[in-house]
Every structure is written in C-alpha cells, then in structure tokens.
C-alpha cells in the first residue's frame, strides 16, 4: 500500500522559505543596501537616466528615514559618520520627505557657499576647474548634443565632472552667499544648469534626511526598449556601466 504524500508539510516549508526570504530582503534593504533608480538628468555625467544603483545605508548610520515609511521613531541619527565633501548622497527632500533626491555634497556645516559667474566658491575661495572634452549624448531624434564639461576639484582634493549646458550665466550661476547651518549640508547636481538643489527649492539638507551614500551602479538602460520589446534589450542596456563605482 502506497503512503499518502504529505503535501501540507511541503506547502508549509515553501511558505516559511518565502517569509524568511522577504524578511532577509527587508533587513538588507533597511540596514545595508537599498536600490534606487535615477529618473532625472541632474547628476549627468556621473549618473545617467536609467541607472540603477545601490546606496549604503550604514555609511552615515541610521535615522527614521533609513526605515521603510519612516515608521521607526529614531531621534536624530545614530551610529553614523558624517558625510564627506564630494560624496554622492540619496536624501529625503526637506519639506517633502516623500521625495528622494540624489546630489553631491559640496558644503559642510559652517561653510559659506556661493556661485559667481558659474564658478563655485567655498569660504571665499573659487574652486579650480579644468576644461575637458565636451560631454556627448544622443538625442531621441538621433541627433548628437555636445555639452561643455569641466573637472572640478573640491577643497579636499575630490575631483568630479560637471556640465555647464547654458554657459556661466544661467539662472543659478550667480547666487547670494549661503551660510550652511550646523547639522546641515549643501547639495548640488553635477549637471549644474539642470539641477534643483540647495541653490533652489531643496535648500540646506539636514543630516537626519540622508538615506545613504551612492556606491555603485548595478544595472543601466537607455530607455529605448519597452519591457515587452525583448529583441531590443541587448542594444538598450548600457553594459559598460554595470558595477561602475560612483565617485
């Protein structure tokens, strides 16, 4: 006589496995790494629209914004090191924490920040920038767009590219002097003439609002293929950006 197969135990094991997998994913996302997608061009050329990246949650410790929906009532920040000038950071927008922004830290607490004729000044000193070859991108209509590109050097020696698509006299290329309050940071996009950042509606970013430091890109596509256009995927994927570190 054949024994009846115990399907109940098998189903229960499957459910437990799925639950454990979900819990592990939640723990990793909360305390270690969280994935983000880049929806805008404010950080071009460092980050492109369609880049998917991992943000390290432990780099700056934890605040209530480190947890899903901000449900854990953590006051301030715990177990955290301060961001360094030049870090690329995901943060909750002050005044509307439902929005995630990603920008570069250029101003630390106590700094004086000002843009004069397209040049970034920190504590009264203009930053060095070196003109390099134009940044070239392809338009949707097949045309080629060239944008003026520089390598800017921050006071701590960090070098990073910036774009000046409208020259040095665009609306945010001349600003008042900003005094960064204690516990806050001044954030700017690398695409200087196409970035809503601390010069505009973002304002100073509290340390508490920071989600984590952008570490590396794990996937990237240029948006030219819909999810169902499988035959276009190979040409739409930016293979050279996989596991590309974010500097």
- Active site residue ranges: 42, 103
Contact 47, 195 (CB under 8 A): no
CA 193 – CA 118 distance, rounded (Å)? 9
Q: What is the dihedral of CA 30, 25, 228, 102, to 10 degrees?
A: 20
Partnered with residue 221 across adjacent β-strands are: 237
Is cis: bond before 45, omega within 30 of 0?
yes
Closest by CA position to 129, among listed 106, 110, 108, 101: 106
CA 124 – CA 204 distance, rounded (Å)? 19
Task: Report H helices in the chain.
Answer: 7-31, 233-236
Contact 50, 242 (CB under 8 A): no
DSSP character for 203? Answer: -
């Amino acid at each position: 006589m054949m024994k009846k197969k115990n399907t109940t135990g098998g189903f229960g094991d499957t459910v437990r496995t799925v639950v454990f997998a979900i819990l592990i994913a939640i723990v990793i996302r909360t305390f270690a790494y969280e994935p983000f997608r880049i929806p805008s061009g404010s950080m071009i050329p460092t980050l492109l629209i369609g880049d998917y990246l991992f943000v390290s949650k432990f780099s700056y410790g934890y605040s209530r914004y480190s947890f899903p929906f901000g449900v854990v009532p953590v006051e301030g920040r715990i177990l955290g090191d301060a961001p360094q000038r030049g870090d690329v950071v995901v943060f909750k927008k002050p005044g509307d924490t439902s929005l995630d922004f990603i920008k570069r830290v250029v101003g630390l607490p106590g700094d004086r920040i000002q843009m004069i004729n397209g040049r970034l000044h920190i504590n009264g000193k203009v930053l060095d920038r070196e003109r390099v070859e134009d940044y070239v991108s392809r338009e949707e209509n097949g045309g080629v767009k060239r944008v003026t590109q520089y390598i800017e050097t921050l006071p701590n020696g960090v070098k990073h590219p910036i774009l000046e698509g409208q020259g040095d006299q665009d609306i945010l290329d001349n600003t008042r002097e900003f005094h960064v309050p204690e516990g806050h940071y001044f954030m700017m996009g690398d695409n200087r003439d196409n970035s809503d950042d601390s010069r505009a509606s973002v304002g100073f970013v509290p340390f508490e609002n920071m989600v984590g430091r952008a570490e590396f890109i794990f996937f990237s596509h240029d948006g030219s293929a819909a999810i169902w256009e499988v035959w276009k995927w190979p040409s739409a994927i930016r293979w050279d950006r996989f596991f590309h570190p974010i500097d």
